Structure 1
Amino acid sequence: MKKYFIQYKPFLIFLFSFFLTYIILTAVYQKYLNSFDENQTDSITSIVGKNTEQVLLLFVADSSVEQSIGNPYMKLFFKQKYVARIVEGCNAVSVIILFISFVIAFSGKIIQTALFVFGGSLLIYILNVIRIAALSALIFYYPEHKSVLHEVLFPLYIYGVVFILWLIWVRNFSKYASKNNK
């Protein structure tokens, strides 16, 4: 048994680091969410909504995002038509937690890891806001394709970005990359 622990030590360390980071970050995020009333939108989702509105206003003057009264979501209007709602799951925090957990599990030098986590998280956030804005426009113009757009195309987009960031991290910056490149 000891032989297998030694043989699979890097993999086991990866799993332990990944799940520990994921559990800690998820618990912290859940505690944050629990600080809001059941019918209140959390601050991060509200900021995502306002940032989405700013992106939409660059292209369409009569778009807006407003807090739903008595509901934990933001209403998104495109050309003055209510097209979508921005709920807690739209704010990409869970995706960012997944991204951070993987990077830490394959950690490299501390400063590089911290910078990559910060830069990657910021990139995911920005691309998520653009994703929501694009999704609202596409739903306005192609409402019959709402399910495919929301449940297939756009999750593929955001998780594809995360996957590419992971590849960049593992190949160029993680402690395993430096051993393989030498």
Structure 2
Amino acid sequence: MVQNNKTVIYFLIKFFGTYLLLFLLYSFYLSKNQKSFELFACAPITKTVAIQSQYLLNVMGYSSEIEQSTSEMAINLFVNDILIARIIEGCNSVSIIILFVAFIVAFASGFKRTILFILFGSFIIYFVNIVRIVVIVIAIYKFPKLEGVLHNIVFPGIIYGITFLLWFLWVQKISRLKK
């Protein structure tokens, strides 16, 4: 019983410690890279996600453009000159990657294995997020009445589902923690 409590407490300390550290670093990054007073400017990572989403949409045959919003902290994404989506800080996958990394660190299993899985998983989450944005933009463009269901239920389910599957893979197959 005492050993189980120590294990749980150690997990929680590593998880919340890692999460807090990464959250504070990301908050500092945002404070230095976003401007929201008279002229809005999203952080470079958010702009990169918008550019990559636009690129993928164009490759798929959709005429798309992006522009920094002048009224809010968002990058507007247009398809055929119709505003379809606003890409905000929460759309860039960094917050989910921070959560993912905190969990992996809490279940760390050797430095090299842990770092490689963090890099692999972060890339997968980032890539799936770009695809998720593109698919939601196409779906909203074609079926605008379904925007609420697509944006609020289906697509968060995709990104959180991928994160959960990566966690499951880590714990069950890769981490090699003593069971």
TM-score, L = length of structure 1: 0.91
Find out whether 1:155 has 2:153 as its counterpart: no
Q: SS of the counterpart of 1:161? A: helix
Determine the C-alpha separation between the residues in 2 that align with 1:131 and 1:28.
26
**Displacement after TM superposition at 1:63 (Å):** 1.3
Counterpart of 1:60?
Answer: 61
Which amino acid in structure 1 is aligned with residue 61 of structure 2? V
Distance in 1 separating the partners of 2:153 and 2:62: 28
Equivalent pair of 2:35/2:41 in contact (CA under 8 Å): yes
Query: How big is the shift at 1:8?
Result: 1.2
5 Å matches for 1:25-174?
A: 25-35=22-32, 36-38=34-36, 39-174=40-175
Residues 107, 175 of structure 1: 8 Å contact kept:
no
Tell me the TM-score normalized by structure 2.
Answer: 0.93
Q: Provide the C-alpha distance between the structure 1 equivalents of 2:62 and 2:141, rounded to a whole number of angstroms.
A: 15
Query: Is the CA contact 2:64–2:78 (under 8 Å) kept in the aligned structure 1?
Result: yes
Q: What per-residue deviation string (whole Å, max 9, x for no partner) do you get for residues 155-174 of structure 1?
A: 00000000000000001222
- Paired letter, 2:91: C
1:21 to 18, 21, 36: 18
Gaps of 5+ in 2: none
Per the TM alignment, residue 40 of structure 1 is displaced from its structure 2 partner at its CA by 1.7
The residue type paired with residue 35 of structure 2 is: D
- Superposed CA RMSD in Å reads 1.3
Cα distance in 1 for partners of 2:95, 2:21 equals 12
2:125, 2:10 → 1: CA distance? 26
Give the length in aligned residue pairs.
175
* 1:75 alignment partner, SS class: strand
Runs of 4+ deviating beyond 6 Å: none
**Structure 1 residues not aligned, in runs of 5+:** none
Q: Percent identity?
A: 37
Q: What code does the residue aligned with 1:37 have?
A: K
SS at match of 2:72: coil
User: Does the 8 A contact of 2:62 with 2:79 survive in 1?
Assistant: no
Matched-pair contact (CA < 8 Å) for 2:41–2:68: no
